[in-house]
């Protein structure tokens, strides 16, 4: 089941004093260097070509599945283009080193691997 777009784009601010786990995840995702790079690259484009970078929470934890599953991508008015797919165990959301407990989906194998391992294979 796909959840509605739950995202705070890179320019959004929270409109409520209540700070949920969803909000915490979104904030931490925007601190990942991969997402910061997406934002920087978007800012270099002319206004007519820019998109917001947003987070879409696709699945929340349940009694059978402890993971948040979410996508990060470009959000235009009529399309969401996924750039990264992540999951994180809800027990580890409070970790200071969020990048050590988050997993990234590798499209070619359709498996999640630790983000730290994926980074070793790429130049970031």
In the sheet that 52-59 helps form, which strands lie side by side, from edge to edge? 52-59, 67-76, 79-89, 102-106, 111-114
SS3 assignment, position 6: coil
No. of helices (H) and no. of strands (E), the chain: 3, 5
* pLDDT of the residue at 36: 93
* pLDDT of the residue at 2: 40
Buried b (16+ CB within 10 A) or exposed e, 19-48: eeebeebbebbbebebbeebeeeeeeeeee
Residue ranges per structural domain of the chain: 21-120
pLDDT band at 8, cuts 50/70/90? very low
* pLDDT of the residue at 123: 67
91, pLDDT greater than 70: yes
* pLDDT of the residue at 3: 42
Question: Is residue 38 a contact partner of residue 54, using CB atoms and an 8 Å limit?
Answer: no
* pLDDT of the residue at 85: 95
pLDDT band at 99, cuts 50/70/90? confident
| Token output for 63 | 């009694």
Question: What's the pLDDT tens digit per position in 23-55?
Answer: 888 899 999 999 999 999 988 888 878 888 999
14, pLDDT greater than 60: no
Find where tokens 């777009």 sit: 5
Find where tokens 């008015």 sit: 77
């Amino acid at each position: 089941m796909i959840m509605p777009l739950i995202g705070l784009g890179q320019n959004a601010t929270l409109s409520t004093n209540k700070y949920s786990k969803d909000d915490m995840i979104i904030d931490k995702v925007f601190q990942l260097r991969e997402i910061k790079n997406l934002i920087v690259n978007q800012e270099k484009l002319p206004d007519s070509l820019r998109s917001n970078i947003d987070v879409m929470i696709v699945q929340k934890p349940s009694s059978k599945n402890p993971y948040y599953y979410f996508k990060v991508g470009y959000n235009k008015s009529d399309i969401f283009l996924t750039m990264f797919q992540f999951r994180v165990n809800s027990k580890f959301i409070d970790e200071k080193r969020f990048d050590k407990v988050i997993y990234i989906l590798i499209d070619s194998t359709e498996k999640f691997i630790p983000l730290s391992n994926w980074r070793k294979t790429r130049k970031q």
